[in-house]
């Protein structure tokens, strides 16, 4: 009987990870973050094990996105070779000096990667 009590929490964790992997396997960038947040908010309400696991996954998945956002906001440079960020370049080699009017010509939003509940 004691092995059952030892294994049960592990099986629960593995079940959460399996479901998460199936849900996010085809996602990247902001879409991945949105999918993880959706799982956390809808499927695992009140489940502290799931909250901890998904929290760890969200923390790690958010790092590259946050770094890209920080660099883009601070310098205006967009380095997103895998197209995982919410902003994409529309012109590969834009002008060095541009004003607010040319922003729309240089960049566009990729709605799939906009994080829905950032606030």
- The pLDDT tens digits of the residues spanning 28-59 come to 999 999 999 999 989 888 999 999 999 999 99
Give domain status of residue 19, yes or no.
yes
Give domain status of residue 47, yes or no.
yes
% of the chain with per-residue pLDDT over 90: 61
The total of structural domains in the chain comes to 1
Give domain status of residue 62, yes or no.
yes
Using the structure block, give the residue that is written with the tokens 């799982």: 39
Q: Which residues pair with 109 in a beta bridge?
A: 87
Long-range CB contacts for residues 36-42, cutoff 8 Å, separation at least 24: 36/61, 37/115, 37/116, 37/117
* pLDDT at 119 exceeding the cut of 60: no
% of the chain with per-residue pLDDT over 70: 88
Give domain status of residue 118, yes or no.
no
Give domain status of residue 29, yes or no.
yes
| Domain residue limits at 54 | 2-113
Contact 56, 85 (CB under 8 A): no
pTM for this one? Answer: 0.82
The confidence band for 94, taking pLDDT boundaries of 50, 70 and 90, is: low
Give domain status of residue 61, yes or no.
yes
Give domain status of residue 119, yes or no.
no
For residue 108, give the 3-state DSSP assignment: strand
């Amino acid at each position: 009987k004691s092995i059952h009590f030892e294994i049960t929490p592990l099986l629960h964790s593995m079940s959460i990870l399996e479901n998460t992997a199936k849900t996010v396997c085809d996602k990247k960038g902001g879409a991945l973050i949105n999918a993880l947040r959706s799982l956390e908010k809808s499927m695992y309400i009140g489940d502290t094990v799931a909250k901890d696991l998904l929290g760890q996954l969200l923390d790690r998945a958010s790092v590259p996105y946050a770094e890209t956002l920080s660099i883009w906001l601070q310098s205006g440079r967009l380095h997103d070779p895998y197209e995982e960020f919410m902003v994409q370049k529309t012109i590969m080699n834009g002008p060095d000096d541009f004003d607010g009017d040319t922003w729309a010509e240089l960049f566009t939003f990729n709605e799939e990667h906009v994080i829905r509940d950032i606030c």
